[in-house]
């Protein structure tokens, strides 16, 4: 499915700075992303299917790494595990970090480890831009949550901020007129939505908060299906964007 989204701009891997960059920098994130594989046919695609996500995702956003190093607290040696890799980009499409979700060997769930998710690189202000924003944007926390919104409304641009702390700080794109904040039903999600609402309102952007029935929109998708989620979103989406809910 082509969304007209530009490929992330990777740091120059041949520059002296890139060769010497320690783990955790954008250059290290770029090396990991460049070494990853397309999502189609991978264990990461299997994982997303188990979460109810069937819509194709641009390879510029999500990829798969079959042997991504993982080390839990207290472990002396890292272990290679399959992982879903997400690009974290800035406003001009430059890759600033990656998010890793380590997976079970069969892809049916996250890996059975203490910390199955980690991000590296520069996250503050940036996001996993699953689809290019236009006059409207849906912004929320988790990748699976935002893919669930896209499953019900495939033509609505969605971004994942990765956490409630980062949600309130995402830099909003120029020309944005309508912002939808897809919250998780917890105190941290509501506080992040309040911070983001204040920033967007001050910039003259109309804001609506989208609330799931359950804990988050992925729970809604898995419990009730895409059609029911679409109907639930239709009650909260602005009239100007109602046409985006039809497939």
**Residue 23: predicted pLDDT:** 54
CATH code for residues 16-121: 3.90.980
Q: Which of 75, 71, 74, 93 is nearest to 83 (CA)?
A: 71
Per residue in 114-142, pLDDT (tens digit) is: 999 999 999 999 999 999 899 999 999 99
CATH code for residues 128-245: 3.40.1360.10
Q: Do domains 16-121 and 128-245 have the same CATH topology?
A: no
Question: If you average pLDDT over residues 166-181, what whole number do you get?
Answer: 95
Per residue in 15-74, pLDDT (tens digit) is: 333 333 345 889 999 999 999 999 999 999 999 999 999 998 888 899 999 999 998 877
Phi, psi of 98 (to 5 degrees): -140, 155
Sheet strand arrangement including 206-210:
128-129, 158-160, 136-140, 178-182, 206-210
**Residue 12: predicted pLDDT:** 41
**Residue 21: predicted pLDDT:** 38
Q: Which of 130, 147, 159, 121 is nearest to 32 (CA)?
A: 121
Q: Compute the mean pLDDT over every residue in the chain, rounded to the nearest whole number.
A: 89
**Residue 247: predicted pLDDT:** 63
- The pLDDT confidence band at residue 241, using thresholds 50, 70 and 90, is very high
**Residue 31: predicted pLDDT:** 95
Q: What does pTM read for this prediction? A: 0.88
Q: Which of 7, 64, 61 is nearest to 32 (CA)?
A: 64
The answer, yes or no, to whether residue 157 has pLDDT greater than 50, is yes
Domain boundaries, the chain: 16-121, 128-245
Read off the DSSP letter of residue 37.
B
């Amino acid at each position: 499915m082509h969304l007209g989204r530009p490929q992330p701009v990777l740091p120059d891997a041949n520059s002296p700075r890139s060769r010497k960059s320690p783990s955790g920098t954008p250059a290290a994130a770029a090396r990991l992303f460049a070494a990853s594989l397309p999502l189609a046919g991978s264990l990461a695609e299997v994982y997303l299917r188990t979460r109810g996500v069937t819509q194709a995702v641009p390879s510029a956003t999500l990829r798969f790494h079959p042997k991504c190093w993982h080390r839990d607290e207290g472990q002396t040696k890292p272990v290679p595990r399959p992982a879903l890799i997400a690009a974290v980009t800035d406003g001009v499409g430059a890759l600033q970090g990656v998010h890793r979700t380590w997976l079970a060997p069969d892809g049916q769930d996250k890996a059975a480890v203490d910390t199955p998710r980690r991000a590296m690189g520069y996250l503050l202000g940036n996001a996993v831009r699953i689809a290019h924003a236009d006059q409207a944007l849906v912004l929320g926390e988790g990748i699976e949550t935002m893919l669930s919104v896209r499953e019900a409304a495939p033509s609505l641009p969605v971004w994942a901020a990765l956490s409630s702390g980062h949600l309130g700080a995402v830099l909003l794109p120029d020309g944005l007129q309508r912002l939808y904040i897809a919250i998780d039903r917890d105190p941290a999600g509501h506080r992040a939505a309040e911070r983001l609402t204040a920033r967007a309102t001050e910039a003259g952007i109309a804001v609506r908060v989208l609330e799931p029935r359950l804990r988050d929109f992925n729970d809604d998708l898995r419990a009730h299906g895409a059609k029911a989620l679409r109907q639930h979103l239709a009650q909260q989406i602005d009239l100007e964007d109602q046409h985006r809910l039809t497939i």
